[in-house]
Structure 1
Amino acid sequence: KKKRLSTNTEHLLLLRRTMKIDESARSRIKVFELCKLIRKEIRKDLCIHHFNHVNKAMQNSRSLRKVRGEVATGKRRLIQLRLDDGTICTTVEDLNKATKAFFEKLYASTAEVEFHAHSPEDCCPPFLPEEVRSALMQMKTGKAPYNDHITTEMLKHGHETLVPVLTRLLNTCLTWQVTPKHMADSSTILLFKKGDPLQLKNYRPISLLSIIYKLLTKVVNNWIEHIFDESQPLEQADF
């Protein structure tokens, strides 16, 4: 990861730390002037750092919105919310409870879904290592990881060793029709959009899923797409 501050600025910071040991009046004046110089150098270093980020993003055709998040100083923290009754909650427990209740109500489905049990003959064949490897290579990189901190880059880098292990894991999920504990859980972060920051409706939730769980859904999705392609009549080949 590239440093934001130049070597010269780091030297000035070290010099200020050394000069603060001397508490004489002359030394305090020198430290005061040095602080002004350091602030000026930091602003210059940050401008150069931001320019290099934007320039590199434009050369690689990356999203400038993502670059803005990378160069931002600090993060907006959710420290209080206004409840439906008008009261303000500030504790972590109350914030989590209010957020959970709001989005559960927002995304709750009222549609009735009929469930039909499948016969044993309808069981899917086991996943093949080639299918898992193909799905893994199709997954996008540069995404924020789940709480386990496993990234797509890690799996791709060690795919020769990990694909057989992942294939056995996914086939176990397929056989028992259940995923390991917490594998299907998600970690939700809230991104402020605009408006009143005390109201949850002004936040956009982003769910971070386990990379291994996303790999499982990717393999299944590839299966479904393959079945649909084979079922499509020749008359609709161009659609």
Structure 2
Amino acid sequence: MAEKHRSLRKCQRNLIQQRVQMSSLTTSTGLKTKTRTGMEWECTAFYTSLFKSKVPIDSPPICQSTPTSIPDVLSSEVRYALQQAENDKAPGKDRIEIEMLKAGGPTLWQAIASRFSQYTQTLQTPAAWKESKTILLFKKGDKEELKNY
């Protein structure tokens, strides 16, 4: 709104209206749930089915590798990836912003590269990488229908 030279008060009012919490949610069976845990479960089920692949894919065979079969991640690769990342993005749970990683310099880039190399050698990823946070933004229509967010 500010960029379009419109009223900041209107912008603030619109943002406040968007922050209204859901009081109930219609489930996939047509019933209404008013508990937070019920709404969270419905959101999880809805978005899991929405983003789940409908095409069966065979998982590739993963064999235990020797330390020399997978090349180490280079600090130059980390630096390049950080340069490609956009600034002003919301940080994750760790509250680390991309600007901090870019400013870390070669010492930090080398530490990140060695950590990534460790993950590729052990074929394991941290549990935190499998977590996400979804923020529902209301579009239009019935506020109790999850498809309208």
Per the TM superposition, whether the score is higher than 0.5 is: yes
Check conservation: 2:23, 2:34, Cα contact below 8 A. yes
CA distance in 2 between counterparts of 1:167 and 1:184 reads: 20
- The residue number in structure 2 matching 1:83 is 27
**Alignment RMSD (CA, Å):** 2.7
Q: Where is the helix percentage greater, Structure 1 or Structure 2?
A: 1
Deviation at 1:118, TM superposition (A): 5.8
Check conservation: 2:72, 2:114, Cα contact below 8 A. no
The partner residue of 2:44 within 96, 100, 105 is 100
TM-score, normalising length from structure 2?
0.78
Which amino acid letter does the alignment assign opposite residue 178 of structure 1? Q
Deviation above 4 Å: which 4+ runs of structure 1? 118-122
Cα distance per residue 1:189-216 (max 9 Å; x no partner): 112111111101111xxxxxxxxxxxxx
Are 2:111 and 1:165 equivalent residues in the alignment? yes
CA distance in 1 between counterparts of 2:105 and 2:130 reads: 22
Between the two proteins, what is the percent identity of the paired residues? 31
Which amino acid letter does the alignment assign opposite residue 92 of structure 1? R
- The residue number in structure 2 matching 1:115 is 59
Name the CA shift for 1:54/1:110 in 2 (closer, same or farther; >3 Å).
closer
Query: What SS does the corresponding residue of 1:166 show, helix, strand or coil?
Result: helix
The partner residue of 1:179 within 125, 144, 147 is 125
Name the CA shift for 1:157/1:78 in 2 (closer, same or farther; >3 Å).
farther
**Which 5+ residue runs of structure 1 have no aligned equivalent?**
1-49, 58-67, 204-239
- The residue number in structure 1 matching 2:8 is none
Alignment of 1:53-92 (within 5 A): 53-54=2-3, 72-73=15-16, 75-92=19-36
Deviation at 1:109, TM superposition (A): 1.9
Are 2:146 and 1:197 equivalent residues in the alignment? no
Paired residues in the alignment total: 140
Structure of higher RCO (CA pairs closer than 8 Å, 6+ residues apart): 2
Name the CA shift for 1:115/1:72 in 2 (closer, same or farther; >3 Å).
closer
